[in-house]
Amino acid sequence: MLQARQDLYLRLTPSPPQDTSDGPRGRGSSAAWRGSLSTRQSSCLGSIVGARGLAPRTVETYMFALEGLREFLAQRCDPPELPQTRDLRAYIAHMLDRSLSRGTIRVRMRSIRGLL
């Protein structure tokens, strides 16, 4: 089970976005980081949307949250592994240090929890 989750995590986490914004906002702003998804990752997103019945925008939010976590983990360990509880707590502290709102942190962590 753990290996399956780790495989899913690694398949779904694209390389960090080129855009440095704090997240998807408004129409068209997600195009820059969405464009960084590989064909394989895009098809995986499509299967998630179909399997869970999620809206495309929800999947984009999930992917943005995973990209942020992946980037954070890449700074802590190489290669990024399936995050442990201590890693997620450190990521929350990192987001708080960046002065992100608690609502933003909550959305990102719910997104991550939904995929892990």
Average pLDDT per consecutive 10 residues, the chain (116 residues; last block may be shorter): 55 49 44 46 63 79 87 76 84 96 94 79
Q: Domains in the chain and their CATH numbers?
A: 2-115 (1.10.150)
Burial class (CB in 10 A: 0-12, 13-18, 19+), 84: exposed
The Cα 96–Cα 90 span in angstroms is: 10
Please state the pTM of the whole predicted model.
0.58
Specify the pLDDT at position 95: 97
Specify the pLDDT at position 61: 86
Positive or negative torsion for Cα 93, 97, 66, 104: positive
Q: How many CB atoms lie within 10 A of CB 9?
A: 20
Specify the pLDDT at position 11: 57
